A and B are shown apart, each in its own frame.
Chain A
């Protein structure tokens, strides 16, 4: 179902899948995104949405977690079980719980619904920049490797290994860890993390960065010496600690 009636987009066009049961909204969003150079397909059915994600035709999924019938969170979990495709979720405004649950399940960012379409485009671009290094002009840079203690990060194939074992990170988590590793041993401010990894400033009362960092922390586990890899400086930022470094209180 090509809801927007746009046929055979050029291969360079970014294709976005919108999972939402509001057909009228999908039409409007499709029209808006078309002006911004995106192709949007809409899918109201959760199972079919999963098939579409598996078809790998899309660069990004916009997922309404308030789908009727199937829970958007279940869908998100299913997507994450097989794919690292960037997911931007739409949550109820003011519903911090939904938001945090979504981020913890591996969504890359969120937008509360109703949303400003400008903001939607900005978020989509920001998230895509994370997964398309060439889009930010990094293509001319030789693929580099970052290594801190037992964690090694290959920026080319975008792989993270801890003691040789690969660790699955989403695009945003990868970007966050990259920022922290580059600055290992010194504090990175929360807002800098948000701008670097989410492509936007933190909104007031926005805990996205904290949720993403806690996911990264969970996936990496403690340092071999038992210390916490990523230390929190409350209300300031985060710090990737090196082995043997004094624990920050």
Chain B
């Protein structure tokens, strides 16, 4: 993640600087003046030497020799040359372009090197006087501008670009670090916060930065602080309320027992009171469990858990319990299920789902439980599924059944004894373990709940 941001910034800035340098280089080359050409390339001496050489070949081998000489020159240096005599005739009889003729005439007159640029070509001419007072003019057409790039090994340009690349890499590295580090720190902190770590702060990693990143970091810290305060207060309240409710409830139970002693035969009203007290007690218990899960600042324990063993034990216990109500619980498939996590929490999650299923399956039917490697995750998850044979849940209500106190229908739930937090606890537990929970209606009726936990 951090590397990603850093690399992207680095490469973008570096690429743009290099591209700008490249464009600049091309522009400079394309618009370079002929003066440079005269100064740097095919200097007077070279022209003079070539001219004398050509005349010597002419004297020795005749015009065809000159033609071969110029062909060879063009092949090795990309310079197209002609040799004119004093009357302005090409010695080998080749055609003379108008520009070449004009420059040659000027060179004969001035005795200096003359030149003229024409588009991407520069034409240079230099007159020489050889033995016997004969005068000749060598006219050379040199590629310049962009043309030159195609014809030359432009080592200077390559060197310049290389220097730009390296300098840009160094400065962009610094720049990318400067931008990416605070970004990465903020990003990590945000994720941490999202995972429930309200104690996370980015200020200390920023040092004394006073720029926009420093500001952002301080704003983030203030936000986390405030969020943490609110959440902690809420959780503490929930926990305290639950704990405080327990004490009067405990006294109520004992007082109820004493009342039973005195009531004699007629226990009906007391039975009712006891049932309601039980319900209240169950609710408080689940609230406390939920509060513990939500306060998961430390995360669950990470010890090896044998899910298969848990599944079998829960199934056996639940089957025993369900028999009293003419229902059954069956395990239909299992696989090896070693995961890392909190065994107590995972057990209670499985237990809650199974109990929920037992509550809702029709009389005379069996709740089916299975466990397999989750194929949708590439077998990196163990999936526990629990299927009942009840009325199922209306499709629109499915996403909400893991919400606290969500009731699909008043009539459905009230008779079954659930207090409305079991599945919420399941959901939080599995999420705390990095897994997912899914509920769906089976094709032929009944609810299927799938718990997926990473191995």
> Which one of B246, B252, B257, B344 contacts A96 once the chains associate, using CB atoms below 8 Å?
B344
> Which one of B253, B314, B318 contacts A114 once the chains associate, using CB atoms below 8 Å?
B253
What's the least CB distance linking A221 to chain B, in Å?
Answer: 23
Q: B289 interface residue, CB < 8 Å from A?
A: yes
Q: A95 interface residue, CB < 8 Å from B?
A: yes
Q: A22 interface residue, CB < 8 Å from B?
A: yes
Using Cβ atoms and an 8 Å threshold, which residues of chain A touch B317?
204-206
B222-279, CB < 8 A from A: 243, 246-247, 249-258, 261, 274, 277
Establish whether residues B251 and A204, one from each chain, have CB atoms under 8 Å apart when the complex forms. Answer: no
Establish whether residues A204 and B318, one from each chain, have CB atoms under 8 Å apart when the complex forms. Answer: yes
Establish whether residues B288 and A94, one from each chain, have CB atoms under 8 Å apart when the complex forms. Answer: yes
> Which one of B251, B253, B258, B316 contacts A116 once the chains associate, using CB atoms below 8 Å?
B253
Chain A interface, number of residues (Cβ within 8 angstroms): 27
Establish whether residues B257 and A118, one from each chain, have CB atoms under 8 Å apart when the complex forms. Answer: yes
Establish whether residues B254 and A234, one from each chain, have CB atoms under 8 Å apart when the complex forms. Answer: no
Q: B320 interface residue, CB < 8 Å from A?
A: yes
What's the least CB distance linking A67 to chain B, in Å?
Answer: 12
CA distance A51 to B387 in the complex (A): 55
A25-B251, A118-B257 given; 14 more Cβ-contact pairs under 8 Å: A22-B251, A25-B247, A28-B251, A31-B258, A32-B258, A92-B288, A93-B284, A94-B285, A94-B288, A114-B250, A114-B277, A205-B314, A234-B309, A235-B316
CA distance A25 to B320 in the complex (A): 34
Binding site for B on A (CB under 8 A): 22, 24-25, 28-29, 31-32, 35, 66, 92-97, 100, 113-118, 204-206, 234-235
Using Cβ atoms and an 8 Å threshold, which residues of chain A touch B320?
204
CA distance A100 to B347 in the complex (A): 14
Known pairs A32-B258, A204-B321, A205-B317; A117 contacts B347 (CB<8 A)? no
CA distance A113 to B246 in the complex (A): 8
Q: B351 interface residue, CB < 8 Å from A?
A: yes
Establish whether residues B247 and A93, one from each chain, have CB atoms under 8 Å apart when the complex forms. Answer: no
Using Cβ atoms and an 8 Å threshold, which residues of chain A touch B347?
96, 205
A-B contact pairs, 27 of them (CB 8 A): A25-B254, A28-B254, A28-B258, A31-B258, A32-B254, A32-B258, A66-B243, A92-B288, A94-B288, A94-B348, A95-B288, A96-B347, A97-B344, A100-B344, A113-B250, A114-B252, A114-B277, A115-B250, A117-B254, A117-B256, A117-B258, A204-B320, A204-B321, A205-B314, A205-B347, A235-B309, A235-B313
CA distance A88 to B113 in the complex (A): 117
Residue of B nearest to A95 (CB): B288
What's the least CB distance linking A207 to chain B, in Å?
Answer: 9
Establish whether residues B247 and A22, one from each chain, have CB atoms under 8 Å apart when the complex forms. Answer: yes
Q: Which 6 A-B pairs have the closest CB atoms?
A: A117-B257, A94-B285, A114-B250, A28-B254, A93-B285, A204-B317
Residue of B nearest to A113 (CB): B250
Q: B281 interface residue, CB < 8 Å from A?
A: yes
Establish whether residues B348 and A96, one from each chain, have CB atoms under 8 Å apart when the complex forms. Answer: yes
Using Cβ atoms and an 8 Å threshold, which residues of chain B touch A32?
254, 257-258, 261
Using Cβ atoms and an 8 Å threshold, which residues of chain B touch A92?
246, 285, 288
Q: B181 interface residue, CB < 8 Å from A?
A: no
What's the least CB distance linking A176 to chain B, in Å?
Answer: 19
Residue from the set B252, B257, B258 with the largest chain A CB neighbour count within 10 Å: B257
CA distance A117 to B286 in the complex (A): 22
